[in-house]
Amino acid sequence: GKVVEFKYREPFYVHCTDSDDKYQLTDGEYVKGYFWMQKGTIGWMSFGATPLSMTVDLGKDMPIRGFSYNTAFGTAGVQFPQAIHVYVSLDKENWHFAGDLLSRATSLRVMPPPTVYGTYRAWVDDMYCHGRYVKFVAQQRSCTFCDEIEIYKGDDSLLKQPMPIDSTTSPRTFGRIIRWRNRIRRDAERVGAGADASISDRISKLDLRELPEDFKTIVPLNDLHREIFAWNAKNLRKAGYTSPVMWKNSHWDNLDPIAVPAKSALDKKPLRVEMMRGETRSTAINVLNPTDAPIECEVSVAGFTSDTPFDCRDVVFTDMAWFRCVSGALVKGEGDKVKFSIPAGTSKQAWISVRRPTGAAGLRKGTVKAKLSTGATLSWPIEVRVYDLDFPATPRCHAGGWDYLNPGSGHYKSKNLASKLELHREMYIDSPWAMGGVVPKNVKFDKEGKLVSKLDFSQWDEWTQKMHPFARNYCVFFGGNKKFFGEKLGTERCKTMMKEFFTAWGEYAVKNGCADKRIVLLTVDEPTSVEAATISMEYFKGIKSSGIKQFATYTDPIFKVDNLPKIPQDFWTYCDIICPHTVPAAMKPYLKGKEIWLYSAFASARTFDPLAYYRLQPWRAFLAGGKGTFYWALGHGGKRGSWCSYQGGTDYSPYFNGLDDVTPAKQSEAMRESIQDFEYLSMLSDRGAKEEAMKIAKRIVGQLTPRDMDWDVVDPKNREIVEEACSEMLKMLEKLK
């Protein structure tokens, strides 16, 4: 057979894509040499949460005994597939799930280490079925490549067997059902319940389509999942845990709900938070339930006076994209206490934030208590060291994330708008982003380009004055193209139109709340070519012709290094703010005299390490001489929000974006603390210790790089080095005071 259809995304990796891609996957020829540089390979680049689908037509209904899929990974950002689901069909309309080829193959033949380049052929010869059409649906996180797929012919008697029970008209939808089952099946295998025939049978009968519309992927996912977790109680007791205990790990780690704590984690070294007055810092404690029944628990903080306020939260486990269970959601408690249930055989975590302490400097001591429904009370010491330093009400690092909460956007109508705005203020978001809806309306020009209409600023006023009165930068994606209100760029009329329009807009804004703020204008998003840079340049010149100092021109370039010398010099000359992903050495000459921001744009956000991805970006900005840190995209939570990752859509939000409200996550907390870290580094520079600040930043950034962004449960990273560096800076700042 041959591939008759690529669905969701055509192969387009430049070094291996050619006109024969549909034939090369089934031509029987395996490539030689570096995998994705060969024309016999089929390649896709960064298709995010969208699965990859390939359909093979066998010509007629054929008996099938197995399948094969050959891939490579381990370097250049290419990762191992998360799943390869196989479906069969008689009519290409009704599809039947034959099995997860990858999980079956890896259970028989272990894959090579994912950290070094290698090839792997996932093959199974006992997935008995039949059909004319075979669909391979691969779920992968970044670039992926395949040079050959095979379908093994079985005995003709297979034609008489019924099609697999599971069927759906949409393999993409059905893939979510398999993810649900796989999460539970994998946990069953981990705790030793996988070999139980009854458990296995109940898992195979789970059907996502029977779940309520408001289903959330909170772990445990259902009663069966809770029952499976209870099997882990035997493992915990075997390890010596016979009754509930408190234990400690790095609160930035991704806690495994069925982890067996190391004995060193029971060492009651006090939880310690070091900070300035007026800022928020965090820690956490875990409570283990090794019994066969769930336990109700209330965690509280005692022994402190009112000048040390606490915010305790329930760390909720969720099943996220890429088949990951994450301990990210921070569900609100009752101030200095929080209540939750601990399923049998698991640990739960209480997140403890110290919120803007006041009063005299010094060491403050107290106790974290866990009151259990068994009648027992557990305790752990906690210390808060407040330095004789005051954190500014407005930190200097600009922060944002293309939230697009402006009037006229879909986000503006969401029920969670008010809670989003409140959380953004908590996260020090001072640079909200808007789409073109806030651009003045009722724009008319005469033949010479003079503005002849009274502009409508109603949506602009709503966004700036009512929604974001505390912002320092009002960032607008203006959406420039080759014509400005219908006039071709570069003509004398166009130049007049631009000057008139931006002058009117700027003068109004200055008189109505923006005299001490900036209006940051993006015209062409992520320019890659000389043409895109030229269009941006024309807009930059037009904006500057207004003479309004509050306007700041902005670009987020992703030019290839080889293209940099070809970009018109005026593009750089007329641009005020340059916001790349990173600052390569080749770009540095073009950044002189410019304000530098950094941004990142990857998904799924909450499977990323809170420290390596979120918290350390401002540290990298500091090293680059930058003044801002941004992420795509605040509040971008998939089709049905962040609480149900099975519903499709890519989730970029660093917090849990619900349909009615929002919930902070460890990633959004890391963003908040990162702004505070940037202030520490900057305060050291202000006080004559810039060299020391740079050394500290280089040391920490060098140990936790963006390449370490995966938030793995089994992870050797030492995340405490960031807290240790902040403690070091606090001591230096207090002395320099």
Q: What is the pLDDT of residues 690-712, one digit of tens each?
A: 999 999 999 999 887 656 677 87
350 strand-pairing partners: 285, 314
Decide if 230 contacts 192 (C-beta within 8 A).
Answer: no
Q: What is the pLDDT of residue 142?
A: 64
Q: How many residues does the chain have?
A: 737
- Calpha distance 418→435 (Å, rounded): 19
Rg (CA), the chain: 28
Angle at 623 between CA 617 and CA 627, to 5 degrees: 70
Closest to 102 (Cα-Cα) out of 144, 131, 156? 144
Angle at 329 between CA 325 and CA 331, to 5 degrees: 140
Q: What is the pLDDT of residue 131?
A: 95
Instruction: Give pTM, 2 decimals.
Output: 0.85
153 strand-pairing partners: 64
- Calpha distance 453→443 (Å, rounded): 6
- Calpha distance 85→401 (Å, rounded): 35
Describe the crossing of helices 690-703 and 666-686 by its angle, rounded to 10 degrees: 150
DSSP annotation of 615 reads I
Strand stretches in 324-361, DSSP E: 324-332, 337-342, 346-355
Look up residue 447 and give its two tokens. 């033949």
CB neighbours of residue 344 within 10 Å:
19
Could you say which residues of the chain have pLDDT below 70? Answer: 1-12, 14, 45-51, 77, 110-115, 140-142, 165-178, 208-210, 321-323, 603, 638-640, 647-649, 705-708, 713-715
Which spans in 304-401 are helix H? Answer: none
Decide if 642 contacts 606 (C-beta within 8 A).
Answer: yes
Tell me whether residue 330 is exposed, middle or buried, using C-beta atoms within 10 angstroms of its C-beta: 0 to 12, 13 to 18, 19 or more: buried
Decide if 292 contacts 346 (C-beta within 8 A).
Answer: no
Closest to 275 (Cα-Cα) out of 360, 354, 365, 393? 354
- Calpha distance 195→179 (Å, rounded): 20
User: How far out from the chain centre does Cα 255 lie?
Assistant: 17
Q: What is the pLDDT of residue 359?
A: 97
Q: Write down the residue that tokens 């200097």 correspond to.
A: 396
Residue type, 390: D
Neighbouring C-alpha atoms within 13 Å toward the C-beta of 661: 9
Look up residue 589 and give its two tokens. 């000459």
Closest to 316 (Cα-Cα) out of 288, 292, 351, 265? 351
- Calpha distance 617→709 (Å, rounded): 11
The most distant pair of C-alpha atoms in the chain lies apart, rounded to whole Å, by 86
- Calpha distance 56→270 (Å, rounded): 60
- Calpha distance 540→467 (Å, rounded): 27
Closest to 370 (Cα-Cα) out of 297, 311, 295? 297
* 490 three-state secondary structure: coil
- CA–CA distances in Å: residue 176 to residues 69, 139, 451: 21, 11, 54
Q: Is the peptide bond before 604 cis (omega within 30 degrees of 0)?
A: yes
Strand stretches in 33-143, DSSP E: 42-44, 52-73, 83-89, 95-100, 118-124, 129-139
* 644 three-state secondary structure: coil
CB neighbours of residue 389 within 10 Å:
18
pLDDT in tens, 265-283: 999 999 999 999 999 999 9
Q: What is the pLDDT of residue 8?
A: 44
Q: Write down the residue that tokens 């500014």 correspond to.
A: 392
